[in-house]
Chains A and B, each alone.
Chain A
Amino acid sequence: MKQIIQIIFIVILLFSFQSCIMDEPTVQPNTNEGNFNALWNIIDKQYCYLDYKNINWDKVYQSYQPKLKNITNQYELFDLLSEMLSELKDGHVNLYSNFDKSRYSNWFTDYPLNFYKDLIFNKHYLGRNYRIAGSLVYKKIANDKVGYIYYGSFSNSFSNSNISAIFSQFKTCKGLIIDIRNNGGGMLTNAEKLASYFFTEKTLTGYIIHKTGNGHTDFSTPKPIYTEANQTLQWQKPVIILTNRSSYSAANDFICRMQYAPKAVIIGDVSGGGGGLPMSSELPNGWMVRFSASPMLDAKKQQTEWGISPDIQQNITDEDRKNGYDTIIETAINYIENQ
C-alpha cells in the first residue's frame, strides 16, 4: 500500500514537472493591434509564397503597423488589413468579416477579358438549343464537326454517365473543345476527374508540397500527383482546352494536368494561376483569413502560382467580336479541322 502511494506521488510529480515543457503560443488580444499582429503572424508562419514572390513581410509590417493609430472603427481596420493582404498579390487570399470580403483581382483585371458570354451563347456556338449534363453545357458546333463543352465552375459536379452521354453525342466529331474560361476553380477532385477521361495511362502531372515549419522556406519534399486514366471512358481524339486569365485555382490545376494528356492542346491566354491550396485561420475578433498554404507544382516541379502558358496564345479580336465570333473558339476549330 505504501509503495502504491509512492508510485502515485511520483506520477503526479512527473506530471507537474512535464507540464512546463508544452509552451503555448501567445494568443493576441481582441484589439486593433492584436488583430493586426494575429493576421501578420498567420501569413508570416503559414503563407507559402513569401519567399517565391520575394515579399519582404517584415517591411510590410513596418509599413502598415504605424497606420493603426488612425483606425477608429472596424471598417477602417478591415480596409487596412485588406490593403496589407493585397501585397501578397494572391487571389486565394481573402479576409472575411460579417460585412465584407477582401479580394485581390488584379490577376485577371489587368489583362484582356477574352471571354464574353453573349458570344458563346450566340448562333455560331451554343445558341439556344444546347444541352446540359450535370454541370456541363454542350453542343456540336462548326457544322457538327466539333464538340463544344463549357464548364463554368469546378465547384459543380458531374458524373461518369454525364460524360458518357456527352462523348456519345460527340462520337462523330473530329475533336472536342473544353472551354474553362472564367472558371474560377472549385474542387480539385473534379479537376482530377475531368482530366482522367483524356489519359490512356497513369501519368505524373504534378507535385504538391506543404509547410513543415514556421520559416518561409520550410517545406516538405514534393509529393507526386498522378492523373489516373478513367477505366471506362477515354476520349482519344484531339481535345482543346480554352483558357483565359480568369481560369483560376482548380481550373489552373486542370490545365496543369491536361498539359500532359496525349492529345490535348491549350489555346487562349495564360491562365490566372492560383497554384496554392488555400487553408483558413481566424483573428481574435472572429474574422476569417484564407491564404495559400500548399503550393502545387507541375510535373517539372515548376510553380504554377502565376499561371500556365498556353500552347497557342490567342486573344479575342475586336473585329471578330463585332462580327459575333469568338477568336479563341475559331482558332480551336481551325486546329481540329486541320488535324
Chain B
Amino acid sequence: MIMIKRLLFILIFNIAFCAIAQNVSEKLFAVKQKNNNIGIGTIRLTEPYLSPFEYQGNFIHFSQEQISLFNPTNKKLSYNLGSDFKIGKARHPNKNNGLFLYEINGFAGFNRHFTIQNNLSLLIGSDIDLTVGGKYMGRNVNNPFSLDLNSNINATAKLFYKFSLLDVPFRLSYNVKTSLLGVMFVPLKGLSYYEMYSLNSWQDAFHFSSLHNRQMIKQGVNIDILFNCATFRLGVKHQTLKYSANDMVFKNNQVAFSIGTVFYFYKFRGNKVKNTDNFIPAL
C-alpha cells in the first residue's frame, strides 16, 4: 500500500512537472533589437537670434535606438526608444566667424506592423521627442547663446526589405519622420537672456508648433549586413527643418553618414531558457 502511494505520488509529481516544463517551453520572449551608431555630417543652419546669415559646418553624432514588441504573441505592435547626440561647428559664409552647436534628442514611440510580402514589411507609427541644444557665438554681446528647446509629436514610417546576396543576408530599410505638433522655445529677437533669466521675463518665448509654423522631415536609409556574430549597419540620414516664430525664420538642414552595430538581447532572471525559437524580435 505504501509502495502504491509512493508510485502514485511520483507519477502525479512527474505529470505536474512535465506540464510546467511544457508551459515554460511554450513561453515567448520579446527580444530587444538595439543599434548604436556613430557618424559625421554636414549642417546648414540659419539662426536669426545670433545672425541673419546661413552658417555651414560639420558635426559628429552618436545615436542609439531600440525596438521591441509590446507582446511577443502580438507581432503587429512594437515600441521604440532612442537618443541622438550631436556636436559641431559652423562658419559664416565669409569664413570670418563661427559658432559652436550641440544637440541632444530623445524619443519614444510605437509602431503598427504591416506585412506586405514575406520579406517586405511596413511600420507606421508615432513618437514623442524632446530636443535640447544650443548654439554659441562668442563675439556676440549679450546674445552669444541661443537655446534650442522643443518637444514634438511626430508621425513615423519605416520600410524594411530583406534579401540575400551571395548567401549573405541583408536588410535594407528606409525611415521617415515628420513633426505634427508640439511646443518650442523661440524668444523675441530683442529679448535678452539677461531679461529672461535674471528678471524671469518669459513672455512670447514659448510657442505652440504645428505644420503652419514648423516643418520637419527626417529621412534615413540603412543597410544591415547580417553576419553570424553580429549585424553591421551603414546609414545615411537627411533632415530638413524650418520653423518660424516672432518674425524669425530658422532653418536646420543636415546630412549625416553613420556606421553602427545591431544587437538582439533579452534580459534574464532566474534560470536561462535555451529554446531560441521562443525569442521573437520586432523585425
A contact set with B: CB distance below 8 Å:
1, 4, 8, 11, 14-15, 18-19, 21-25, 27, 30, 38, 46, 48, 96, 98, 188-189, 192, 208, 210-214, 220, 223, 225, 277-282, 284-286, 288, 290, 293-294
Which residue from chain B places its CB closest to the CB of A12 in the assembled complex?
B178
- Using A282-B92, A284-B53, A294-B191 as known contacts, list a sample of 16 further A-B pairs with CB atoms less than 8 Å apart, ordered by residue number in A: A11-B155, A15-B211, A22-B242, A22-B249, A30-B93, A30-B94, A188-B194, A189-B198, A210-B190, A210-B192, A211-B189, A277-B195, A279-B141, A281-B52, A282-B53, A293-B142
Query: Pick the contact of B195 from A11, A46, A223 — CB < 8 Å?
Result: A223
- Min CB distance, A9 to chain B, in Å? 12
- B-side interface size class: 35 or more
| B219 close to A (CB within 8 Å) | no
Whether A280 pairs with B140 at a CB distance below 8 angstroms is yes
| B143 close to A (CB within 8 Å) | yes
Complex interface residues of chain B between 163 and 203 (CB less than 8 A to chain A)? 178, 188-192, 194-195, 198-199, 201, 203
Whether A14 pairs with B142 at a CB distance below 8 angstroms is no
- Can you name 17 A-B residue pairings with CB atoms under 8 Å? A1-B114, A22-B213, A27-B52, A38-B52, A98-B96, A210-B195, A211-B190, A212-B190, A223-B195, A277-B194, A277-B195, A280-B141, A282-B52, A282-B92, A286-B92, A286-B94, A286-B97
> In the complex, what residues of A have CB within 8 A of residue B191's CB?
210, 294
Q: If A14-B211, A23-B249, A25-B249 touch, does A279 touch B192 (CB 8 Å cutoff)?
A: yes
Whether B94 pairs with A284 at a CB distance below 8 angstroms is yes
Give Cα A284–Cα B199 distance, bound, in whole angstroms.
Answer: 33
> In the complex, what residues of A have CB within 8 A of residue B124's CB?
4
Q: If A30-B94, A286-B92 touch, does A24 touch B194 (CB 8 Å cutoff)?
A: no
> In the complex, what residues of B have CB within 8 A of residue A188's CB?
194, 198
| B157 close to A (CB within 8 Å) | yes
Q: Mark B124-157, 1 if CB is under 8 A from A, else 0.
A: 1000000000000001111100000000000101
Query: Pick the contact of A19 from B94, B96, B114, B242 — CB < 8 Å?
Result: B242
Most chain A beta-carbon neighbours within 10 Å: one of B53, B178, B199:
B53
> In the complex, what residues of B have CB within 8 A of residue A11's CB?
155, 178
| B204 close to A (CB within 8 Å) | yes
Complex interface residues of chain B between 186 and 245 (CB less than 8 A to chain A)? 188-192, 194-195, 198-199, 201, 203-204, 211-213, 215, 217, 242-244
| B51 close to A (CB within 8 Å) | yes
| B277 close to A (CB within 8 Å) | no
Q: Which 7 A-B pairs have the closest CB atoms?
A: A211-B190, A286-B96, A286-B94, A280-B140, A210-B190, A282-B51, A22-B244
- Min CB distance, B175 to chain A, in Å? 13
> In the complex, what residues of A have CB within 8 A of residue B93's CB?
30, 284, 286
Whether B212 pairs with A225 at a CB distance below 8 angstroms is no
Whether B140 pairs with A288 at a CB distance below 8 angstroms is yes
Whether B139 pairs with A96 at a CB distance below 8 angstroms is yes
> In the complex, what residues of B have CB within 8 A of residue A8's CB?
157
> In the complex, what residues of B have CB within 8 A of residue A214's CB?
247
- Min CB distance, A259 to chain B, in Å? 19
- Min CB distance, A6 to chain B, in Å? 12
Give Cα A276–Cα B279 distance, bound, in whole angstroms.
Answer: 66
> In the complex, what residues of A have CB within 8 A of residue B192's CB?
210, 277, 279, 293-294
Whether B247 pairs with A277 at a CB distance below 8 angstroms is no
Q: Mark B82-114, 1 if CB is under 8 A from A, else 0.
A: 000000000011111100000000000000001
> In the complex, what residues of A have CB within 8 A of residue B215's CB?
15, 18-19, 22
> In the complex, what residues of B have CB within 8 A of residue A284's CB?
53, 93-94
Query: Pick the contact of A280 from B96, B139, B188 — CB < 8 Å?
Result: B139
Give Cα A30–Cα B94 distance, bound, in whole angstroms.
Answer: 9
Q: If A15-B178, A284-B93, A286-B92 touch, does A46 touch B51 (CB 8 Å cutoff)?
A: no
Whether B94 pairs with A18 at a CB distance below 8 angstroms is no
Whether A48 pairs with B190 at a CB distance below 8 angstroms is yes
Give Cα A290–Cα B142 distance, bound, in whole angstroms.
Answer: 10
Whether B199 pairs with A223 at a CB distance below 8 angstroms is yes
> In the complex, what residues of A have CB within 8 A of residue B97's CB?
282, 286, 288
> In the complex, what residues of A have CB within 8 A of residue B188's CB?
210-212, 220
Which residue from chain A places its CB closest to the CB of B211 in the assembled complex?
A18
- Min CB distance, A278 to chain B, in Å? 5
> In the complex, what residues of A have CB within 8 A of residue B198's CB?
188-189, 192
Most chain A beta-carbon neighbours within 10 Å: one of B114, B190, B243:
B190
Q: If A22-B249, A212-B204, A285-B94 touch, does A46 touch B141 (CB 8 Å cutoff)?
A: no
